[in-house]
Amino acid sequence: MSRYLDWLKEENMSLFTDFYELTMCASYFDNNKFEPATFDLFIRRLPENRSYLLFAGLEQVLRYLESVRFTEEHLAYLKTQGFNQKFLDYLRDFKFTGDVWAAPEGTVAFPCEPLIRLTAPIIEAQLVETFLLNTVNLQTMIATKASHVVNAAKGKAVIEFGLRREHGVDAGMKVARSSYIAGCHGTSNVLAGFHYGIPVFGTMAHSFIMSYENEIDAFRAFARTFPNKSTLLIDTYDDLAGAKKAVVVAKELEKQGFKLDGVRLDSGNLVELSKKVRKLLEAKGLQYVKIFASGDLDEFRIAELLDKDAKIDAFGVGTKMGTSADKPYVDVIYKLCETMTGRGKFSPMMKLSEGKTTLPGRKQVYRFKDENGNYTKDVIALLDEKAKGEPLLHKVMEKGKITISLPSLEEIRANAAENLSKLPAKYKKPTNAPAYPVELSQDLKNLIKTLKKKLLQTSQV
Amino acid sequence: MSRYLDWLKEENMSLFTDFYELTMCASYFDNNKFEPATFDLFIRRLPENRSYLLFAGLEQVLRYLESVRFTEEHLAYLKTQGFNQKFLDYLRDFKFTGDVWAAPEGTVAFPCEPLIRLTAPIIEAQLVETFLLNTVNLQTMIATKASHVVNAAKGKAVIEFGLRREHGVDAGMKVARSSYIAGCHGTSNVLAGFHYGIPVFGTMAHSFIMSYENEIDAFRAFARTFPNKSTLLIDTYDDLAGAKKAVVVAKELEKQGFKLDGVRLDSGNLVELSKKVRKLLEAKGLQYVKIFASGDLDEFRIAELLDKDAKIDAFGVGTKMGTSADKPYVDVIYKLCETMTGRGKFSPMMKLSEGKTTLPGRKQVYRFKDENGNYTKDVIALLDEKAKGEPLLHKVMEKGKITISLPSLEEIRANAAENLSKLPAKYKKPTNAPAYPVELSQDLKNLIKTLKKKLLQTSQV
């Protein structure tokens, strides 16, 4: 059998990296640089039209860190790319041996707050960068986007429907996972149902209707197969004519003791159509039939539909959410914040490049809450400071081994819902939300000042 | 060892589908609908700022069609989702047995032109829809975007650098593949080098520089490991100060008989900086040192840099290309265009939904060329018409078996370059390009007219 995904296996993920990670590591190796260093993974700024971040992707990061290895085949390839034998011998025995602190998946977070903090020999910490960024970028971007979509739907169900336009097979799976974490009710992706246990949903396509000579024959055929859970697509030829035929089939089902689940609108003026269809259904005593809407939906369109009182019970949201179409990436970065410079002492590091300044030192994020548990502000502080508030980062890996019991997907989803319920509503508006207060501690501010001065005075410039 | 990608294997791709494909198939099965049907896969419209499409993804589509199967584990899961045993027994023996015609990868194409035409029992044709759309969407979107980026670079090298922000592991691989097809010189993705044989490139990160006490120590350390192929990142603290240190290291390398490969700029005003750095390098007799630029580049930024005479020799293009950030999907669709309606006769089908009208019947695309082989226009015609021009669709699969020798990636890349050279320059402008002429044949127009009339007259409305 011909193969097309056999390379896509965990043992190959060591090579799923930017080439420069390997060249840098080769140079670290040659120059005997094995000292520990700490890297922060964080998101530099909020994407437009998002007022907070919902962190996702940690489970895959930790499983990767625990298992990353190089095979003989990999080493043979790297040899052809100019790496020397001593370095290849080092890679043969490579294991990640560092410590990791991280926010739990489903944490509500804000720009510049470390989401993952990793301390390891610099050569190890560098080697794993690309996979970490790739994983957190996709899942946090989608969880954040989907969370804003779910907010807009005001309690009505949102189903993730974007599989056909998501970026490949891994994206198809991770979008289903991340949007479920964010509060979507389910997905159309059957493999995500099979693997993650996410509820799967689906109706029918226009081609199904068209394959029958008459629209009503298609409705009847489908209802025969799924008498208790049919949602009929009514816009192939004309929505209202389609709705009338759906009513006929619903009445036929009633006679057999079944109930039509719903009708689906996929085009046209959803506000007007949904009102007309709802009226028709009610006139025929079919109040229980749900109206399901799809077609180019996102948080703004859903808000607009509900503002205009569209009679829609559930939303199928596809491409716009599944590709985070208005901003298909987050500014996630992984930056060195300290290195050990001899005698077991760590020195804080920072970068001054224009617009890319970073926060130095090993840090913790503290969240402050009011008497009802609602979030009031965060403070990014140095680890050795005495700070109040609830720390967001927890130890999740020690010497390369996962030290926590990884939460189930349902637990992560519940954690996200709980956290989102504690974020005051004003911070959840996709546009014109006030910035949630994230402060730097006085000690951190002092350190930044001192380091800037030092960097500008010394030979670095 | 903990697992995080074990589900991502070819045998699971049968479940990598929207749930509605399976419910529709279950209903087709129950209602004894096994008649052959033809589906067209095409892209409805050009994304903004693209003037043509570059088709990619066919190899993965064909390998999937040849190998898609259901396992006992899959069937057990589907049973929990309400499918009946007879249908599950059908799926146990499922194989795709259809015929496929397609344009070769690397074909320059335009909206509404069928890229893949598939004829199979309708139940089979329906079941494979989602995977086909997912695969062609990603690869054609990226090949198209990357081709426009390569055009903007006017012959200077473009390296695909977006791995960290591409949507998951499959996207990371497919973006490298598609952008190489489109003419990129290589990728930063080492696994794409290992698996696809794509040339890999990389320099160093700011963290490498920062891990040394002095910037020049970092340069020297890297140059020791890669004396003949070092590109030094000079903007960590101050670009020009960094450039001066790179000059020192270049001179030290010269004394040892080596040459510094390049310097890299990743921030700031690339036009001014590149001019200053080029001047400095020339003043020191280092004309051969290349200037490599990166940082938020896309086709528009590259065009602007070159217009302003930036002294840049190669571009590293990341997120904007790797996520097709300005339009992270294409309107790729898969539509029924005919079904067999008894006595071996096929009847053409079309859809009338607002803004979503489709072209009926089994079709071919004919490309017309001038005496130099340059493309002049395309005509979409019915298969049984006598049409001039070069047909774009070729038979690639018969009864579920691939009938062609699949081209190598290098062959596909060469095919794309050849095709792009035949597309007149005026059609390659990303903005304000005239529309390349795509006509419908008279017979196709007549058929559409007749079918519209019939659909509007009959009980469908």
Q: What is the DSSP string of B76-136?
A: HHHHHTT--HHHHHHHHT-----EEEEPPTT-EE-TT--SEEEEEEHHHHHHTHHHHHHHH
CA distance A336 to A348: 9
- Write the CB contacts of B367 (distance below 8 Å, at least 6 apart in sequence): B375, B377, B378, B389, B390, B391, B392
CB contact B298 to A (< 8 Å): no
CB contact B23 to A (< 8 Å): yes
Chain A nearest C-alpha distance from B207 (Å): 6
How far from chain centre, in Å, is Cα A103? 14
CA angle B306, B311, B314 (to 5 degrees): 80
Q: What's residue A236's pLDDT?
A: 86
Q: Which whole number is the average pLDDT over B7-24? A: 93
- In A98-220, DSSP assigns E strands to 99-102, 108-109, 116-121, 157-160, 186-187
Q: How far is CA A84 from CA A69, A80, A95, A399, B223, in A?
A: 18, 10, 19, 27, 14
Q: How far is CA A400 from CA A18, A59, A67, A397, B370, in A?
A: 22, 14, 9, 6, 64
Query: Which tokens belong to B353?
Result: 């939904």
Q: How many CB atoms lie within 10 A of CB B388?
A: 8
CB contact B40 to A (< 8 Å): no
- In B327-452, DSSP assigns E strands to 332-340, 346-348, 363-369, 375-382, 390-391, 394-398, 401-402, 438-440
**A101 neighbors A116 (Cβ within 8 angstroms):** yes
**B251 neighbors B279 (Cβ within 8 angstroms):** no
Chain B residue with minimum CA distance to A329:
B165
Amino acid found at A398: E
pLDDT in tens, B264-321: 999 889 999 999 999 999 999 999 999 999 999 999 999 999 999 999 999 999 999 9
Q: What's residue B353's pLDDT?
A: 63
- Residue A379 located in a structural domain: yes
B314-317 vs B290-293, strand pairing mode: parallel
Mutate to test the interface with B, among A14, A15, A18, A25 (most CBs of B within 10 A): A18
Residues A160, A278 within the same domain: yes
CB contact B207 to A (< 8 Å): yes
Amino acid found at A270: L
Set of chain B residues whose Cβ sits within 8 Å of the Cβ of A3: 10, 63
Residues B50, B179 within the same domain: no
Produce one character per residue of A140-175: b if its CB has 16 or more CB atoms within 10 Å, e if not.
bbbbbbbbbbbbbbeebbbbbbbbbbbbbbbbbbbb
Look at residue B2 and tell me whether its pLDDT is greater than 60.
Answer: no
Q: How many domains does chain A have?
A: 2
Considering only CA atoms, which of B169, B93, B252 is closest in space to residue A139? B169
CA distance A282 to B460: 23
> Taking CB atoms and an 8 Å limit, are B21 and A202 in contact across chains?
yes
CATH number reported for the structural domain that contains residue B405 in this entry? 3.20.140.10
Query: Which tokens belong to B413?
Result: 């890349």
Give the sign of the dihedral formed by CA A172, CA A175, CA A181, CA A182: negative
CA distance B10 to B67: 8
Q: Which whole number is the average pLDDT over B13-41? A: 96
CB contact A253 to B (< 8 Å): no
Whether the complex's predicted ipTM is more than 0.90 is answered with yes
> Taking CB atoms and an 8 Å limit, are A26 and B335 in contact across chains?
no
Residue given tokens 């970026």 in the structure block: A167
Chain B nearest C-alpha distance from A374 (Å): 33
- Residue B2 located in a structural domain: no
CB contact B268 to A (< 8 Å): yes
CA distance A189 to A202: 9
CB contact A191 to B (< 8 Å): yes
Q: Tell me, what DSSP letter sits at residue B289?
A: -
Partner-chain residue, chosen from B63, B171, B356, that has the shortest CB–CB distance to A170: B171
Q: What's residue A353's pLDDT?
A: 62
Set of chain A residues whose Cβ sits within 8 Å of the Cβ of B81: 190, 193, 200
Amino acid found at A71: T
Residues A213, A169 within the same domain: yes
- Residue B270 located in a structural domain: yes
Query: Which tokens belong to A181?
Result: 């974490």
Which residues 99-138 in chain B show a CB within 8 A of chain A?
122, 126, 129-130, 133-135, 137-138
Q: What's residue B211's pLDDT?
A: 85
Tell me what percent of the residues of chain B surpass a pLDDT of 90: 86
Partner-chain residue, chosen from A16, A21, A37, that has the shortest CB–CB distance to B172: A16
Mutate to test the interface with B, among A3, A12, A17, A23 (most CBs of B within 10 A): A23
Chain A nearest C-alpha distance from B368 (Å): 32
Q: How far is CA A120 from CA A95, A99, A104, A359, B134, in A?
A: 11, 6, 20, 18, 38
User: In chain A, helix, strand, coil percent, each to 5?
Assistant: 40, 20, 40
CA distance A142 to B402: 37
Helices and strands: H and E segment counts in chain A: 16, 19
Q: What's residue B355's pLDDT?
A: 64
- The two most distant CA atoms of chain A are separated, in Å, by 87
Residue given tokens 């625990």 in the structure block: A66
Give the sign of the dihedral formed by CA B4, CA B6, CA B10, CA B16: negative
CB contact B210 to A (< 8 Å): yes
Q: How many CB atoms lie within 10 A of CB A80?
A: 9
| pTM (global) more than 0.95 | yes
Considering only CA atoms, which of B181, B138, B174, B192 is closest in space to residue A18? B192
Output phi, psi for A376, to 5 deg. Answer: -115, -40
Q: Tell me, what DSSP letter sits at residue A43?
A: E
> Taking CB atoms and an 8 Å limit, are B77 and A167 in contact across chains?
no
**B75 neighbors B93 (Cβ within 8 angstroms):** no
Question: What interhelical angle do B129-152 and B409-421 show, nearest 10?
Answer: 60
- Residue B5 located in a structural domain: no
Residues A78, A161 within the same domain: no
Partner-chain residue, chosen from B21, B122, B189, that has the shortest CB–CB distance to A211: B122
Residues B168, B305 within the same domain: yes
Last residue of a domain, one of B282, B307, B322: B322
CA distance B201 to B187: 6
- Residue A333 located in a structural domain: yes
Look at residue B159 and tell me whether its pLDDT is greater than 80.
Answer: yes
> Taking CB atoms and an 8 Å limit, are A169 and B134 in contact across chains?
yes
CB contact A404 to B (< 8 Å): no
Q: Residues of chain A whose pLDDT is less than 50? A: 1, 461
Q: What is the CA radius of gyration of chain B?
A: 26
Q: What residues does B395 pair with on adjacent strands?
A: B101
CB contact A67 to B (< 8 Å): yes
- Write the CB contacts of B90 (distance below 8 Å, at least 6 apart in sequence): B29
pLDDT in tens, B407-431: 999 999 999 999 999 999 999 988 8
- Write the CB contacts of A413 (distance below 8 Å, at least 6 apart in sequence): A106, A180, A181, A183
Q: Which whole number is the average pLDDT over B104-123? A: 98
Residues B137, B155 within the same domain: no
> Taking CB atoms and an 8 Å limit, are B9 and A8 in contact across chains?
yes
Chain A residue with minimum CA distance to B188:
A18
- Residue A410 located in a structural domain: yes
Set of chain A residues whose Cβ sits within 8 Å of the Cβ of B33: 211, 221
Last residue of a domain, one of B270, B291, B322: B322
The H or E element that residue A60 is part of is: helix A58-67
**A238 neighbors B461 (Cβ within 8 angstroms):** yes
B99-102 vs B363-369, strand pairing mode: unpaired
CB contact A248 to B (< 8 Å): no
3-state DSSP call for residue B21?
helix
Last residue of a domain, one of A288, A322, A356: A322
CA distance A383 to A364: 5
- Write the CB contacts of B311 (distance below 8 Å, at least 6 apart in sequence): B274, B275, B277, B278, B291
Residues B171, B299 within the same domain: yes
Domain that holds residue B121: 10-142+327-457
Set of chain A residues whose Cβ sits within 8 Å of the Cβ of B123: none
Look at residue B357 and tell me whether its pLDDT is greater than 90.
Answer: no
Partner-chain residue, chosen from A1, A77, A213, that has the shortest CB–CB distance to B67: A1
> Taking CB atoms and an 8 Å limit, are A174 and B195 in contact across chains?
no
Q: What is the CA radius of gyration of chain A?
A: 26
Q: What residues does A366 pair with on adjacent strands?
A: A379, A391
- Residue B62 located in a structural domain: yes
Q: How many CB atoms lie within 10 A of CB B304?
A: 13
Residues A174, A290 within the same domain: yes
Look at residue B177 and tell me whether its pLDDT is greater than 50.
Answer: yes
Set of chain A residues whose Cβ sits within 8 Å of the Cβ of B66: 1-2
Residues A287, A348 within the same domain: no
CATH number reported for the structural domain that contains residue A269 in this entry? 3.20.20.70
Query: Which tokens belong to A87?
Result: 């370095």
The backbone region for B257, taken as left when phi is positive above 0, alpha when psi lies in -120 to 50, beta otherwise, is left
Set of chain A residues whose Cβ sits within 8 Å of the Cβ of B319: 329
Chain A nearest C-alpha distance from B372 (Å): 38
Residues A198, A300 within the same domain: yes
Chain B residue with minimum CA distance to A122:
B211
> Taking CB atoms and an 8 Å limit, are A266 and B323 in contact across chains?
no
Length of chain A: 461
Residues B129, B181 within the same domain: no
CB contact B177 to A (< 8 Å): no
Task: Transcribe B413-428 into DSSP letters.
Answer: HHHHHHHHHTS-GGGG
**Is residue B55 very low, low, confident or very high in pLDDT (cuts 50, 70, 90)?**
very high
Q: What's residue A461's pLDDT?
A: 45
- In A181-286, DSSP assigns E strands to 186-187, 231-233, 262-265
CA distance B412 to B54: 11
Chain A residue with minimum CA distance to B333:
A164
Considering only CA atoms, which of B358, B353, B356 is closest in space to residue B380? B358
Q: Tell me, what DSSP letter sits at residue B31?
A: T
Q: What's residue B431's pLDDT?
A: 85
Query: Which tokens belong to B411?
Result: 């062959």
CA dihedral A122, A126, A128, A130 (to 10 degrees): 160
Considering only CA atoms, which of B403, B404, B397, B399 is closest in space to residue B100? B397
Residues A389, A430 within the same domain: yes
CA distance B11 to A452: 55
Query: Which tokens belong to A51?
Result: 């007022």
Q: How many CB atoms lie within 10 A of CB A11?
A: 16
Set of chain A residues whose Cβ sits within 8 Å of the Cβ of B200: 19, 81
> Taking CB atoms and an 8 Å limit, are A241 and B461 in contact across chains?
yes
- Residue A53 located in a structural domain: yes
